[in-house]
Structure formats: C-alpha cells, structure tokens
Amino acid sequence: MSQYKHDITAVSLETGLSKETIRKWESRYGFPKPQRNSSKERLYSTAQIRSLREASRLINSGVRPKYALLAVAGSNPIEGKPIAKQLQLPLSEEIIAALQRNDRDRVYYLLQRALITHGVIAFIEDTLAKVNHDIGVAWSHGLIKIYQEHLYSDVVQGVLNKETLDIPTFCEGPIDIILATPPGEIHTIGIQMVELWLKFHGIRSLSLGAQVPISELLEASRDIGASVIGISVTSAYALRHSRKFVLDLCSAVPEEMDIWIGGSGAPYKEELPVNVKCFQEIRSLDSILVDFPCLLSVDESPRG
C-alpha cells in the first residue's frame, strides 16, 4: 500500500487529466487500478501516474483512448494484426525507422518533403493527421520509445513553426483571430496547425500558446481588436471542462465576438451558444469560414 500514496487531485495535477476522465477510464477500461485508504479515497502509484502521462500523449497523437490505455497497461491493443497493416501511410514506416535510429534530421527531412510534395493544406488536413496516428500505434507496439515519440512531436512543431514563418503576410489589416489552449491543456500542435492553415488562406491570427486563462484572452482580444477566439483541446482534456470553459468564455466576451473550439476533445455533440463553432477536424474550417466572409476579404491566391 505504501506505493499508493497519490490521491486523485495530485494525479490530475501531475498528468493534466481531469478527475472525471481518470474515474471514467477506471470504470470503462479498467485502468488505472487505484487502491483505497481507510476513508475509501482512491490512491495511485507513481508508476500509474507515468502510465497516464504516456496514455495522454498517445491520445494526443491520434490513438483512441481504449488502445492507448491497453498499451500503457501492457496489453496489445490489436493483438495478432501485423503492425504494417495498422499504419495509414507508407511515409510513417520511414519516419518510424528514423526514430528508431534517433535520426532527427531524417525525420525532419521526411516531413518537410511531404509538405512540399502535397502542399500545405493537404499536409495539414491529411498527411500529418495520419502520421500522428501511426506514430501512436508504433509506440503502443513498442517499436519506438516514449522519448522517441517526444522527439517526433518536437520535430513536427518545428516544421509547422518554420512553414508558418516562411509564408509571407499579404494582409496588413488587424489580427482577426486569437488562438490558445485553456488552462490544463498543454498540447499545442492543434493551434499550430490552425495558425498555419489560416495564414495560408491570408487570415491573420495570433497564437498565445498553452493554458491561457479567460482574463488574458479578453485582454488580448480587446488590445488587438480580434473578432474570433479559437480554442484547441485534445481528448485528454475532459469534455465537461471544455464545455464549461467555452460557456464561461461566452459569458465573458462581447456578444459580437465568435468562439471556435476544435480538436478531439471539443464538445461537438453538446448544445452550445450560437456564437460558438465546434469542429474536430481542421478540414472543417472550410465550411466554418463560409459564415465569416469578412475574414476572406483578402486575396486567396495560393501561397507556396
């Protein structure tokens, strides 16, 4: 029992997962498996905290929660199925091989080549989403180690940042959209992908990064005159919390301001205020922008 010394509040703080999510996973998937103290409170081990962190990263890479938790609990998520048949792109096999050699430059080259070959939009909407999924599958099968999955994420962020900076800004008007993740959501690849997508379409945005409180979003939107606040959440962020954050944000912003929330943790099945646009895939931005003709008033000719 001495190993089980962390209560659920501590686990939530250590992993970035909500208490609700931790309890739901325990009930639905049988992991984690806490012990109880004399007061019947859940207690978790340090090893379980590490596993939950790894599960969160897998989910953010596109692996479904069930398979991520089976992987960290030591079970094969799709037993008997050859790994190659689970990968969505041949490119992923090359990237996995490079990660196994810790060849950062090769991973960067492969991603950059894919971006140039397919173009910015196809790379963001299709290629990168599939490779992210495949890297998660590779990790769950033990083909790459957790630090190598960290390496992959870092390279992806570098590719996205470079491409965003390389695209020239054709519009000198005001910044239209603020991008951020809410407090407790540490993953930023989603907002980086949206920032690049928007810039390619000639729409100016400002990314404030991770874990931005409502007060700072309001201050930034007032200072720059933004008309939209865009929020990204992964499935590691509890649905209840993402919905509450959006509702709290709605009550704080001016009536004329719109809110976009996207990512695998977005409450897209929930009933939300009319000024909230909710989406799970970045390709959905095409249809969302139909309602925002003012954002598309600039020249939309291809940009690189």
> Chain-centre distance of CA 250, in angstroms?
22
Q: What is the pLDDT of residue 293?
A: 60
Q: What is the pLDDT of residue 82?
A: 47
Q: What is the pLDDT of residue 236?
A: 72
Rounded Cα distance between 110 and 115, Å, is: 9
Q: What is the pLDDT of residue 296?
A: 56
> Using a CB cutoff of 8 Å and minimum separation of 24, what contacts does 49-55 make?
49/6, 49/11, 49/14, 49/15, 52/11, 52/15, 52/17, 52/22, 53/14, 53/15, 53/16, 54/146
pTM for this model (two decimals): 0.68
pLDDT tens track for 25-62? 888 888 888 998 888 899 998 888 888 887 887 776 66
**What ranges do the domains of the chain cover?**
4-58, 83-166, 177-296
Rounded Cα distance between 121 and 110, Å, is: 17
What CATH homologous superfamily does 83-166 map to?
Methionine synthase domain (1.10.1240.10)
Using an 8 Å Cβ cutoff, are 114 and 91 in contact? Answer: yes
pLDDT tens track for 205-229? 999 999 999 999 999 999 998 989 9
Q: What is the pLDDT of residue 230?
A: 94
Q: Could you say which of 3.40.190.10, 2.40.50.140, 3.40.50.280, 3.30.70.1900 is the CATH number of the domain covering 177-296?
A: 3.40.50.280
Using an 8 Å Cβ cutoff, are 43 and 6 in contact? Answer: yes
Rounded Cα distance between 266 and 232, Å, is: 8
User: In this structure, are strands 205-207 and 258-262 parallel, antiparallel, or unpaired?
Assistant: unpaired
Q: Which fold has domain 4-58?
A: Multidrug-efflux Transporter Regulator; Chain: A; Domain 2 (1.10.1660)
Rounded Cα distance between 141 and 127, Å, is: 21
Say if residue 117 is exposed, middle or buried (CB neighbours under 10 Å; 0-12, 13-18, 19+): exposed
Using an 8 Å Cβ cutoff, are 163 and 128 in contact? Answer: no
Q: Which residues of the chain have pLDDT under 50?
A: 1, 76-83, 298-304
Q: What is the pLDDT of residue 298?
A: 46
Look at residues 206, 208, 207, 217 and name the one whose alpha carbon lies nearest to residue 252: 217
CB-CB neighbours of 175 under 10 Å: 18
